[in-house]
Structure 1
Amino acid sequence: MAAAKLLQQEGYKNVINISDGFEGNPATGEGWKRSNLPCK
């Protein structure tokens, strides 16, 4: 979250924080890719 806040302070407008991570935890099935969200 700190990186996203820093980018906003630097003027970036479209900033997203992925709280469960991109790859996620294999044991829990969390994460951007494991949720079948777009990753192009």
Structure 2
Amino acid sequence: MFAGGLAGVICCMVALLVLPRIFEKQRKKLLEKLEEEI
């Protein structure tokens, strides 16, 4: 039970670290597409 909770906390921390980077990449791609359309 404790090990599962610990793994969950680690997964959450990794997600918080990784997700912003993924969002930044997607945001840059979206901005490039918008600039091409305008």
Which of the pair has more CA radius of gyration? Answer: 2
TM over 0.5: no
Pick 1 or 2: higher relative contact order, CA cutoff 8 A, min separation 6.
1
TM-score by length of 1: 0.27
Query: Which structure shows the bigger proportion of residues in helix conformation?
Result: 2
TM-score by length of 2: 0.29
